[in-house]
Amino acid sequence: MKLVDRTKITAAVVALASLSALSASFLEISPAFAKEPPPQPVVLNASAVAVADKYAADAAEHIFREGGNAVDAAVAIAFALAVTYPEAGNIGGGGFMTLYVHGKPYFLDYRERAPLAATRTMYLDDKGNVIAGKSLYGLDAVGVPGTVEGMWEAQHRFGKLKWKQVLAPAIAYARDGFVVDEQLARRREDASKEFGGRTNFDNYFSSMKDGVTFKQPALAAVLTRISVDGAKDFYQGKTADLIVAAMQAGHGPITKRDLLEYKAVWRQPIEAKWNGYQVITAPPPSSGGIGLVQLLKMKAILAPQFKDVPHNSAQYVHLIAEISKRVFADRAQYLGDPDFYKVPVAQLIDDAYLAKRAAEVDPEKPSDTKSVQPGLGTSLPEKAETTHFSVVDKWGNAVSNTYTINGYFGSGVVVPDAGIVLNDEMDDFAAKPGVPNMFGVVGSDANAIAPRKRPLSSMTPTILTRDGKVALVIGTPGGSRIFTSIFQVITNIYDFKMPLKEAVAAMRFHHQLLPPNTIFWEPYKPIEGDLAKQIEAKGYVLKGQDFSGDIQAIRIDGDTPEAVADPRGRGVTRVVQ
């Protein structure tokens, strides 16, 4: 059985532990039976959050004032965003949480899984061609959601407050309503056009207009049940029944058994030494942590080539694109769910390997795309929407959390009588290995569809520590742009010594091997004028994308946290004394 009464089992295991050394090692590794940690001294003069929406920030502030720690605040934020940031906040999706608690790094994978009925060819027609939209819209696009199980697991392992307390702000927002922001209203209109009546999206969301108070009583009832019965309600209880009823009514693939068997997984985070910092970031099934470490290390190896190259100049863009080319070649070939495919993580971030890859960089002109093969021996498109929040508490703990329903408003399906927006995460699998996905990235067999498998992600919730203390907590939405964005902000802070606000606001760009020699620019700070001409003169094609990213970052200087929400989004920060 998946969800258990942990009080009873903890007592039983503690009794066993005194009898046997074997039990003691079991206690050590099993999060469900973690011992009560010793109290922590206060080490910072404030707690802080950077989050995509003001209501969630208020929720976090409330939790801190009640004595909660970073994990309590993170869980409260995740549930609040499911109500007030419904385009990406969710309980119908999944994500990744990187934590630094009591001086130790942890990583929680609560990514969606393919349902048991999933097959390798489920999105292909009789001729073997990808059926347009099938992995993006409607019930067939939905992976088994992990968010509720993830939040339950994190809060029960590390939270200080009662589970009910962290659900309370979200319940109030759903029951009493929140005032709809102009950006949210616009995103709802765009999504409505995209779904084009293929799903029940408009039935639920058509009244969510700029300035109105939007109430969600059905979602309030779901959240209230979860606050009383825990994650069990979502995976085995009345909410599970509502999800399965929606699936049955629309011939969708997710069954009771899919929900019952869902599990979040504690994994070893990726850790790497860089520039005097310990980088703690997302392992597979994210490609992002490996990609981030590869980018950081290759840039450091190529320091002589970067010497005196001005920030965001044409030569800078070229050198970063050359490095990115190699990172995306590896991403396409080697990365997938580690429970199904042996990902060569250590080799991919090995210094000698990266030195060899960096030596292939052409300092003058773009390397021929076809010549850039996976380095140990091909790339997929993906949706950019998703959301991230960063949290630190005054005890020095940190949470970096990125979670998603993939595109804004996911699959466009809202579970009737529950108000749960279901994800379209199945699009992050390689529907046909070798064919690009929505973000233009190509996938290999490592990311082919299989029952229970998690699709490859780019989400990269990251924490940097120095001398055992948290120095930076950072993440962003952006699909395959996630780790190239985080890389650029980290580089801005530590290589270019920019203040955090400037580092986050600076222009960002993106290259990902395919399409060949293409540099994507963002609407927030377009590449234009002389810079555009100089980059084109180097042999690149410039292409605008419609997404700018939404970095949420906290930097700690001494004992003072500074939080910055990306000016590209509607995010806010709070520093709570």
Counting contacts by CB under 6 A, is residue 485 touching ligand GLY?
Answer: no
- Closer CB to ligand GLY, residue 404 or residue 491? 404
**Which one of 44-52, 302-310, 379-387, 392-400 is the stretch in contact with ligand GLY (CB under 6 A)?**
379-387
- Closer CB to ligand GLY, residue 61 or residue 382? 382
**CB-based burial label for 189 (10 Å; 0-12, 13-18, 19+):** middle
- Closer CB to ligand GLY, residue 428 or residue 522? 428
CA neighbours within 13 Å on the CB side: how many for 18?
5
Q: Which residues face 399 on adjacent strands?
A: 99, 391
* Rounded least distance, CB 428 to ligand GLY, Å: 5
Q: State the pairing for strand pair 94-101/104-110.
A: antiparallel
Q: Which residues face 573 on adjacent strands?
A: 50
Estimate the share of the chain in helix, then strand, then coil, as percent rounded to the nearest 5. Answer: 40, 20, 40
- Closer CB to ligand GLY, residue 457 or residue 548? 457
Which one-letter amino acid corresponds to residue 448?
Answer: A
* Rounded least distance, CB 238 to ligand GLY, Å: 28
**What residues have CB less than 8 Å from 500, skipping those under 6 apart?**
493, 553, 555, 562, 564
Q: What angle do CA 386, 135, 252 make, to 5 degrees?
A: 105
Q: Closest Cα partner for 292 from 436, 98, 517, 109?
A: 98
* Rounded least distance, CB 479 to ligand GLY, Å: 5
Q: Which position's Cβ is nearest ligand GLY? A: 457
What is the Cα–Cα distance from 526 to 545, expressed in whole angstroms?
A: 10
Q: Which residues face 214 on adjacent strands?
A: 178
- Closer CB to ligand GLY, residue 53 or residue 428? 428
Q: Which of 98, 155, 397, 406 binds ligand GLY (CB under 6 A)?
A: 406
Q: Which residues face 565 on adjacent strands?
A: 552
* Rounded least distance, CB 13 to ligand GLY, Å: 35
Instruction: Report the Cα 243 to chain-centroid distance in Å.
Output: 23
* Rounded least distance, CB 383 to ligand GLY, Å: 5
* Rounded least distance, CB 176 to ligand GLY, Å: 31
User: Which of 239, 378, 386, 462 is the catalytic position?
Assistant: 386
* Rounded least distance, CB 126 to ligand GLY, Å: 28
* Rounded least distance, CB 482 to ligand GLY, Å: 6
Q: Which of 386, 390, 476, 512 binds ligand GLY (CB under 6 A)?
A: 386
Which one-letter amino acid corresponds to residue 406?
Answer: N
* Inter-residue contact 291 to 490 (CB < 8 Å): no
Q: 386 catalytic, yes or no?
A: yes
- Closer CB to ligand GLY, residue 291 or residue 419? 291
- Closer CB to ligand GLY, residue 230 or residue 291? 291
Structure tokens at 326: 């190699």
* Rounded least distance, CB 424 to ligand GLY, Å: 9
Phi first, then psi: what are they for 244, rounded to 5°? Answer: -65, -35
**Which one of 82-90, 355-363, 382-390, 541-549 is the stretch in contact with ligand GLY (CB under 6 A)?**
382-390
Structure tokens at 529: 């004028």
Sign of the CA dihedral 66, 71, 75, 78?
positive
Contacts 24+ apart (CB under 8 A), 5-14: 6/32, 6/33, 6/156, 9/33
What is the Cα–Cα distance from 242 to 495, expressed in whole angstroms?
A: 51
CA neighbours within 13 Å on the CB side: how many for 263?
12
* Rounded least distance, CB 427 to ligand GLY, Å: 8
What is the Cα–Cα distance from 386 to 4, expressed in whole angstroms?
A: 30
- Closer CB to ligand GLY, residue 92 or residue 159? 92
What is the Cα–Cα distance from 388 to 390, expressed in whole angstroms?
A: 7
Q: Which of 224, 390, 404, 462 binds ligand GLY (CB under 6 A)?
A: 404
The mark string for 325-364 relative to ligand GLY (x by CB under 6 A, - otherwise) is ----------------------------------------
- Closer CB to ligand GLY, residue 383 or residue 432? 383
Q: Which of 383, 454, 481, 555 binds ligand GLY (CB under 6 A)?
A: 383
Contacts 24+ apart (CB under 8 A), 359-362: 360/326, 361/298, 361/302, 361/305, 361/319, 361/322, 361/323, 361/326, 362/322
Q: Which of residues 452-481 bind ligand GLY (CB under 6 A)?
A: 457-459, 479
Counting contacts by CB under 6 A, is residue 401 touching ligand GLY?
Answer: no
| Structural element, H or E, at residue 502 | helix 500-505
* Rounded least distance, CB 490 to ligand GLY, Å: 18
Count the site residues for ligand GLY by CB under 6 A. Answer: 10
Counting contacts by CB under 6 A, is residue 382 touching ligand GLY?
Answer: yes
- The number of residues in the chain equals 577
Number of H helices, E strands in the chain: 20, 20
Q: Which of 53, 153, 258, 428 binds ligand GLY (CB under 6 A)?
A: 428
- Closer CB to ligand GLY, residue 415 or residue 459? 459
Q: Which of residues 172-231 bind ligand GLY (CB under 6 A)?
A: none
What is the Cα–Cα distance from 442 to 307, expressed in whole angstroms?
A: 33
- Closer CB to ligand GLY, residue 13 or residue 295? 295
Q: Which residues bind ligand GLY (CB under 6 A)?
A: 382-383, 386, 404, 406, 428, 457-459, 479
List, by residue number, the catalytic residues: 386
